[in-house]
Amino acid sequence: MKRKDITIVAGMHGDEPIPVIALASMHIKHIVGNPEALSKNKRFLDSDLNGVFGDPITDKETERAAKLLSLIPDDKPVLDFHSTTSIQEPFVIIIDMKMLPLARKTGLSTIVYLKLNFKAGKTLIDHRDGVVVETGQKLDHNCHNTTLQVLDSIENEKEADNIFLFEVYDKITEPGEYNNFELYDDSFYPVFATKCSYDFIGLKAKREKIK
């Protein structure tokens, strides 16, 4: 797969600048999701941009979401680069199993399948085929390298040696000591647990080794 066959998005959250810098540093064409929030180093101005796609225009982010849908073609997949607060290892998120082949080509070994879609169909990849790439912790320089490595893997169709699919099926409701991607109490694998930017404790996933 070539770069021209995908649309690259970064800076959907204004406090996640490193993938934007990585792409700019290599002169790689991309769309900056939320330039105004990025310029203020804020996650968003009025509402979480990656949770308002398809909403009527009432504030800065709903206006930007509509603009992005007019900029981003619907006939090729999107790679949407992010970084997180709590999870160090990079991973890729899909919300539809039809995107598994693209997720595998990112070269990352951890794929999260959000079968339980907790953002109610309002993220960019609900409106365009594509995957979210979580490149690592927010201001960690590794996010820079991961962004560029993922693009290299996609161009050269390089898969990781081992690939694990974490299928999210429920929310975590009990407070506790959860380590992401590590089996908890012989029952589930936490994903997005603790210190996350969402209004819940974390998500429960099953793990399957697919390669």
Query: Strand 78-84 relative to strand 130-137: parallel, antiparallel, unpaired?
Result: parallel
Q: In the stretch 69-108, what mask flags binding to Zn ion with x, by CB under 5 A?
A: -------------x--------------------------
What is the spatial distance between Cα 197 and Cα 144, in angstroms, rounded to a whole number? 21
What are phi and psi for residue 23, nearest 5 degrees? -65, -45
Is residue 34 involved in binding Zn ion (CB under 5 A)? Answer: no
Contact 202, 193 (CB under 8 A): yes
Is residue 13 involved in binding Zn ion (CB under 5 A)? Answer: yes
Contact 163, 211 (CB under 8 A): yes
Contact 89, 142 (CB under 8 A): no
Which residue's CB is nearer to Zn ion, number 138 or number 158?
Answer: 138
Nearest distance from residue 183's CB to Zn ion, in Å?
A: 26
C-alpha dist (Å) from residue 44 to 75, 113, 207: 28, 25, 32
Nearest distance from residue 12's CB to Zn ion, in Å?
A: 6
Which residue's CB is nearer to Zn ion, number 11 or number 77?
Answer: 11
Nearest distance from residue 16's CB to Zn ion, in Å?
A: 5
Helix, strand, coil % in the chain, rounded to nearest 5? 25, 25, 50
Nearest distance from residue 1's CB to Zn ion, in Å?
A: 23
Which residue's CB is nearer to Zn ion, number 16 or number 61?
Answer: 16
Under DSSP, is residue 182 helix (H, G, I), strand (E, B) or coil?
Answer: coil
Q: Residue of minimal CB distance from Zn ion?
A: 82
Which residue's CB is nearer to Zn ion, number 13 or number 64?
Answer: 13
Letter for the amino acid at 185? Answer: D
Nearest distance from residue 87's CB to Zn ion, in Å?
A: 12
Which residue's CB is nearer to Zn ion, number 82 or number 104?
Answer: 82
Nearest distance from residue 4's CB to Zn ion, in Å?
A: 25
Binding region for Zn ion (CB under 5 A) out of 10-18, 19-27, 110-118, 149-157: 10-18
Which residue's CB is nearer to Zn ion, number 132 or number 188?
Answer: 132
Contact 92, 147 (CB under 8 A): no
**Look-up of token digits 């490595």:** 149
Residues that bind Zn ion (CB under 5 A): 13, 16, 82
